[in-house]
Structure 1
Amino acid sequence: MEVHFDGKRALVTGAGKGIGRDTAKALVKCGAEVFVLSRTQEDLDSLVQEYPGIRPVQCDLGDPVATKAAVESVGPIDLLVNNAGINIPQAFLDVTLDTFDTVMNVNVRAVLQVSQIIAKGMVERGTGGSIVNVSSLASKISAKACTTYCASKGALDIMSKVMALELGPHKIRVNTVNPGIVMTNMMRKIGYDDPDKAGPFLSRIPLGKFVEVDDVVHAILYLLSDKAAMVNGASLPIDGGFLTS
């Protein structure tokens, strides 16, 4: 299945590393004009070195004033990937209000704010568009020390469905991808490429392996594309069948 985004303008948040970075590069390869947002200037610089056509925007999505200015600066967008997200692990009884607010601000509030700005432009132009919010399997299952993260991804899933309901009449589709454990460089560094450490998790995945970044990127590209023209309000688990166990 070939996907083309010639003539389309895309924005990817949290594009400095991992899923967001590889999504941005894939969108360039598919012909889109790509804007990337990250709070880390060094990551943006290295990404532009790899792909000089990418348009970088430095911004901390935890700051709503800076977020508004940054997103408005990129102009009209046809394809939006809300990938930025954070997790601050704490046991339930240790969760602080500051931690809760920090996680919810980035994982939920920023998605609301960015999507409102972009979707209003889509509606005004009357050209439609596609939004993919990067959620997590943590919206569907509980995990120790992940109270705020699980809560934020659960909120993101249902907010995405409301977005799909209200924006659908304007030909704007909204979907989420919900990856399980993704084998990023960070996951390898903490030992999840060690069969002994990974065994208990892998035993619950029928396909017997963790998700790779490309697995998520390919799903995002599909949902952004016209190949998914009738997919709206969906939450797509990318988990090798974990939820079936």
Structure 2
Amino acid sequence: MAVELDVTDAAAVRAAVTAADTCSAARRLTTAVACAGVARRTAALTLDARDADAALADLDLTLAVNVRGTFLLLQAAAAVMAPRGEGSIVTVASTSAFTASSTPMLAYDASKGAVKMLTQAAARELGPHGVRVNGVAPGTMDTPLMRALGADDAALSRMVQSRIPLGRLGGVSEVAEVVAWLSSPQASYVTGQLVVADGGWLA
């Protein structure tokens, strides 16, 4: 069940979780995935006042969606899962949670570092209630967001050749498979982890 909503709106997130948990008498929410995210290719540290204002606006938006949105989903999902003593919550971080981007994306990098810590801290807090919290950290993926950041085919080809041992960009389905595994009984003793899916970028 995919839900489109404003993830920065606490009431909307709680309503979406409630709807997912009560969509039928035979179903209840067992897995929640916080996958909304934004990224802007903006230099945050600049001496130009106009650029500084724009960078601050980007920071506010990025932290609101990537960090606040993840926090609200964790909070709402935990509220319905913890009383039952079971459940899985998966966040979407990035390799930027471990190393800064190669182009200026300070706000994005900071937000994904925060998602990493949200994941680990929530795993500690919710573990005693039987709720597992993990994350996936994708590398450079072939997505509309990547294209929207202005990466053309030539730039992507150079990046693949110089940085990715597997020699190609990742696909959305490959990240989905990690999420599915983290949510499955096969990962029943896994919590507080960020599984990196980056083709070897960080190796």
Q: Is the 8 A contact 2:30 2:81 kept in 1?
A: yes
Among the aligned pairs, what percent are the same residue? 36
Distance 2:106 2:16 in 1: 30
Match of residue 3, structure 2, among 26, 37, 43: 37
* Cα displacement (A) at 1:61: 1.5
The 1:105/1:169 distance shift into structure 2, 3 A limit, reads same
Root mean square deviation, CA, Å = 2.0
Q: How many residues align?
A: 187
Distance 1:197 1:184 in 2: 15
* Cα displacement (A) at 1:212: 1.0
The residue aligned with 1:154 is 113
Match of residue 9, structure 2, among 50, 54, 63: 63
* Cα displacement (A) at 1:96: 3.6
**Amino acid aligned to 1:184:** T
Task: Report which structure shows greater RCO (CA 8 Å, sep ≥6).
Answer: 2
Distance 1:110 1:242 in 2: 27
Q: Check if 1:130 corresponds to 2:88.
A: yes
Match of residue 68, structure 2, among 93, 109, 123: 109
The residue aligned with 2:24 is none
* Cα displacement (A) at 1:66: 3.1
Deviations 1:19-58 (A, max 9, x none): xxxxxxxxxxxxxxx2x221xxxxxxxxxxxxxxxxxxxx
Distance 1:204 1:89 in 2: 19
TM-score, structure 1 normalization: 0.70
**Amino acid aligned to 1:61:** V
TM-score, structure 2 normalization: 0.83
Q: Which stretches in structure 1 are left out of the alignment for 5+ residues?
A: 1-33, 39-58
Q: Which stretches in structure 2 are left out of the alignment for 5+ residues?
A: 22-27, 46-51
Runs of 4+ in 1 over 4 A off after TM superposition: 185-192
In terms of fraction of residues, the more strand-rich structure is 1
